[in-house]
Amino acid sequence: MNGFRLTTKAPDSQARAGELHTAHGTVPTPIFLPVASKGTVKALSPDDLKTIGVEMLLANTYHLYLQPGIAVIEKMGGLHRFMAWGRPILTDSGGYQVFSLAGLRRVSDDGVVFRSHIDGSEHLLTPELAINYQESIGADIIMVLDECAPPEASRAQIEEAMQRTHRWAERCKKAQSRNDQSLFAIVQGGSYPDLRRMSAEYLASLDFPGYAIGGLSLGEPKKTTYEMVDATVPLLPGDKPRYLMGVGSPEDIVEGVARGIDVFDCALPTRVARNGALFTDTGRINIRNAAYREMPGPVDRACDCYTCRTFSAAYLHHLFNARELLVYRLTTIHNIRFMVRLMARMRAAIEAGAFAAFRKQFTENYRPTDERVRLEQKEKWLKKQSNAGAETI
Amino acid sequence: MNGFRLTTKAPDSQARAGELHTAHGTVPTPIFLPVASKGTVKALSPDDLKTIGVEMLLANTYHLYLQPGIAVIEKMGGLHRFMAWGRPILTDSGGYQVFSLAGLRRVSDDGVVFRSHIDGSEHLLTPELAINYQESIGADIIMVLDECAPPEASRAQIEEAMQRTHRWAERCKKAQSRNDQSLFAIVQGGSYPDLRRMSAEYLASLDFPGYAIGGLSLGEPKKTTYEMVDATVPLLPGDKPRYLMGVGSPEDIVEGVARGIDVFDCALPTRVARNGALFTDTGRINIRNAAYREMPGPVDRACDCYTCRTFSAAYLHHLFNARELLVYRLTTIHNIRFMVRLMARMRAAIEAGAFAAFRKQFTENYRPTDERVRLEQKEKWLKKQSNAGAETI
């Protein structure tokens, strides 16, 4: 039942279209997964997600482990039932969060000891526990535990983390007891193309049902992200899905698809929405800008989302000024709908043999946010997250 | 077109059922109006409100005057269009907020000078301006400017405020230039039954299309609220709608209907929802209570709202603990749906000649929140509101 079927390969790039089959249904690729860290895409209900056209979500094992706890989710019948979402879910293993959010890490071959960013309590995560937790949560696609070395690490440290990730991948595979979940491996290797190739080649030999590229989107320049994808993709099996973890600005996704990536996840579209930044085909606008104070039209005339069909930019501007709760939902609806439409437009272009033209046109029109600004925003957010439980918006 | 039609009078109490005709449609009475202070019922969209069955809203002239400003709403085509709500709206005059939230008031016969609770800036409100603003906002029912004396005021001060309210009511009537809005008068008189009677009698002689009872719900005991309603109602014209301002706990509404009130508004159901308090037929429960941590069933088995149909109490408990934005919407949906169902049940009971039995049963089952707790919560909220613009949730 589970598996991946390639349906179209673009003649003019690495881009491809396919279908991902899971225990909770089939989804088309390339696909973008909104992030439901704690079992909710912030500010949206499952009905909102269905209306928007979202077909699959990502949830974070680390966050769910801390709140409400794996045992609660298991008792409530698994995450699908707990959050009332009947479509596919992918869970990460907790590796990325443990290495980016949690404090005081001690890594050994056995696993990693970390401190909760909420209350400072100490916890152990091993490859076996990561699988165990993800089996209790019950996602359709689950991930191996990986070690994410920080970008400032030395080559030796990055290579060591990669080797450990490989050993952990094998242990994760052995630890699997459910056969209705697909376990994806994660390629590491920092910003070294040769390490990335080595990692891809080794993991490919272990025959996983899918492959992720991890350890990117950590603050490296976009150029590096793309180079690492270019180094990795040719060594991954062509008939297996490829997942670029944590990368999800519109411009990055277009470049990722062009390089043969099938699956993306990222908190950026929802996070920036709650900050007033809205995607359009010409780039991001910020609704808090005084220019929108008396704008009677929608934020994006090309958009068919509930927000754009119903409300003026002036109303959203007012709600933001007044810090009204409704606005976070409305801006999130818009950004996620933008992502869903972007993926559909890319699939259509691939199927029509016109992806290169789509990519050219999109890139010419879309003005990416200055990279420095983007990274500052992300750092601010990560800092806020690790301030014990203070995060609301 | 505008007007009120009485359809049923209960044989066993003062309760009555009717229809309120407005420029944006007809609504059944008795009716409860959720509060959309700044042009949004906090955490809900217009679609949510329609799904819940809300037929009419209240918006606050004071809040809209400060944010986004009357001119913006007027330019955007009025409040109905600005907030995408095509059903009836009632606006208050700003009187209550000026006398409860704003600072540094100087009252004279001309009007009242007050300081914004957002930025401390000084503003003037007169009867003529109150009408002018409400005509620009474009509500279906608008209110006269009244002076709300604080509960601790002397009898002489309360009588003076009442007399001024009467003079202002006449000025408001003269200031009206639109003929598609119904202007309601407001009875004042504090906790003095004789002043209440005097006020009702005087205003009744001026022949307004509707009458409100104001200056209650300011911290006086429930018993006093009911006594003032009892003193006032017999002196109001029987063929005009009666509106009890700012009163809206389930138990108070049942008592208000029993005393012949047709219209209610109150921020309580939405405010307490955002604090985790949910209405059921046996009283309020608080979803933050540890008892709900692993409860697989809905909060209220008797409820047909989206929240109760879709999510377990355990999920709401988790969302609250994690301060997830979705939860404020889900709890608000439940409480407003409870209010809508309560009003519908009362109307059905009135029409079946069985209101007294309904009231008895409701009162026996519903355990009201301790009055002291309720008032402390309200004071905390008012304080939070007047902390310059700090309010989000």
- The interface predicted TM-score (ipTM) is 0.94
Contact criterion met (CB < 8 Å) for A330 and B68: no
CATH number for region A3-265? 3.20.20.105
List the single range of A210-214, B151-155, B193-197, B311-315 with lowest mean pLDDT.
B151-155
Tokens of A159: 């290579």
Spatial contact of B365 and B83, defined as CB atoms under 8 Å apart? no
Measured at the CA of A287, the angle between CA A283 and CA A292, to 5 degrees, comes to: 110
- Is residue A194 part of the annotated active site? The answer reads no
**Tokens in use for B99?**
């006398």
Residue from A92, A146, A262, A300 carrying the catalytic annotation: A92
Asked whether residue B70 carries a pLDDT value surpassing 90, the answer given is yes
Contact flag A391-B323 (C-beta cutoff 8 Å): yes
Task: Give the phi and the psi of residue A197 in degrees, each rounded to 5.
Answer: -65, -45
Report chain B residues whose CB lies below 8 A from the CB of A293. 68, 72
With CA atoms as reference, report the closest residue to B218 among B257, B266, B186. Answer: B266
Query: Do the chains contact at A392 and B325, CB–CB below 8 Å?
Result: yes
| Residue A241, min C-alpha distance to chain B (Å) | 32
Catalytic (active site) residue B92: yes
Closest partner residue to A325 among B76, B318, B328, by Cβ?
A: B328
Among A46, A77, A318, whose Cβ lies nearest the Cβ of B67? A318
* Rounded CA Rg of chain A: 20
How much is the average pLDDT of B149-176?
95
pLDDT at residue A294 tops 70: yes
Instruction: Note whether A171 and A120 are within 8 A (CB).
Output: no
Distance from CA of A308 to the nearest CA of B (A): 12
pLDDT over threshold 60, residue B310: yes
B390 versus B316: which is more confidently predicted? B316
pTM of the model: 0.94
Q: Using an 8 Å CB-CB cutoff, list residues of chain A that contact chain B.
A: 38-40, 42-47, 67-68, 72, 75-77, 82-84, 274, 293-294, 296, 306, 310-312, 314-315, 317-319, 321-326, 328-330, 391-393
Q: How far is B268 from B277, CA to CA, in rounded Å?
A: 10
What's the mean pLDDT when you consider all of chain A?
93
Question: Do A324 and B46 make contact, defined as CB atoms within 8 angstroms?
Answer: no
* Residue A392: pLDDT over 60: no
Cβ distance A39 to B326 less than 8 Å, yes or no, reads no
What's the whole-number mean pLDDT along residues A361-368? 92
Query: Cβ(A303)–Cβ(A273) under 8 Å?
Result: no
Beta strand segments in A161-286, E: 182-187, 210-213, 242-244, 263-265, 277-280, 283-286
Confidence of residue B368 (pLDDT cuts 50, 70, 90): confident
Rg of chain B over all Cα atoms, to the nearest angstrom:
20
Under 8 Å CB pairs connecting chains A and B tally to 122
Chain A positions touching B331 (Cβ under 8 A) are none
Q: Kindly give the residue spans of alpha helices, DSSP state H, lying in B151-191.
A: 155-175
Q: Which residues on chain A are in Cβ contact (under 8 Å) with B84?
A: 310-311, 315
Cα of A307 to nearest chain B Cα, Å: 10
- Answer yes or no: do B43 and A325 touch at CB < 8 A: yes
Instruction: Mark yes or no for CB contact A45/B326 under 8 Å.
Output: yes
Minimal C-alpha gap between A324 and chain B (Å): 6
Tell me the pLDDT band of A373, cut-offs 50, 70 and 90.
low
Q: Which amino acid is at B4?
A: F
Residue to test with chain A: of B64, B307, B324, most A Cβ within 10 A: B324
Residues B121-141 have pLDDT tens digits of 999 999 999 999 999 999 999
In this predicted structure, the answer to whether residue A391 has a pLDDT above a threshold of 60 is no
Contact check, Cβ <8 Å, B83/A323: no
Among the listed residues B92, B146, B262, B300, the single catalytic one is B92
If you measure CA to CA, which chain B residue comes closest to A293? B72
Across B186-204, average pLDDT: 97
Which chain A residues are within 8 Å of B75, Cβ to Cβ?
294, 296
The residue ranges of every structural domain in chain B are 30-266, 273-371
Report the gap between the CA of A46 and the closest CA in chain B (Å).
9
| CB neighbour list of residue B383: distance below 8 Å, 6 or more residues apart | none
Residues of B in contact with A330 (CB under 8 A): 45
Residue B353, sorted as left (phi over 0), alpha (psi -120 to 50) or beta, turns out to be: left
pLDDT at A151: 78
Would you place residue B392 in the very low, low, confident or very high pLDDT band (cuts 50, 70, 90)? Answer: very low
Q: Is the pLDDT of residue A378 over 80?
A: no
> Is pLDDT of B382 > 90?
no
> What pLDDT does B10 receive?
86
pLDDT at A386: 63
Check the CA dihedral B205-B208-B212-B214 and report its sign: negative
> What distance in Å separates the CA atoms of residue B247 and residue B268, rounded to the nearest whole number?
8
**Nearest beta carbon to residue A324 from set B40, B311, B389:** B40
Contact B32, B265 (CB under 8 A): yes
**Cβ neighbours of B68 in A, within 8 Å:** 293, 314, 317-318, 321-322
Closest by Cβ to A322, choosing from B38, B82, B326: B38
Structure confidence by residue, pLDDT tens digits, A187-212: 999 999 999 999 999 999 999 999 99
CATH number of B30-266: 3.20.20.105
Beta carbons of A315 and B42 less than 8 Å apart:
no
Chain B residues in contact with chain A using a Cβ-Cβ cutoff of 8 Å: 38-40, 42-47, 67-68, 72, 75-77, 82-84, 293-294, 296, 306, 310-312, 314-315, 317-319, 321-326, 328-330, 389, 391-393
Per-residue pLDDT of B234-289, as tens digits, reads 999 999 999 999 998 999 999 999 999 999 999 999 999 999 999 999 999 999 99
Taking the CA of residue B157 and the nearest CA in chain A, the distance in Å comes to: 35
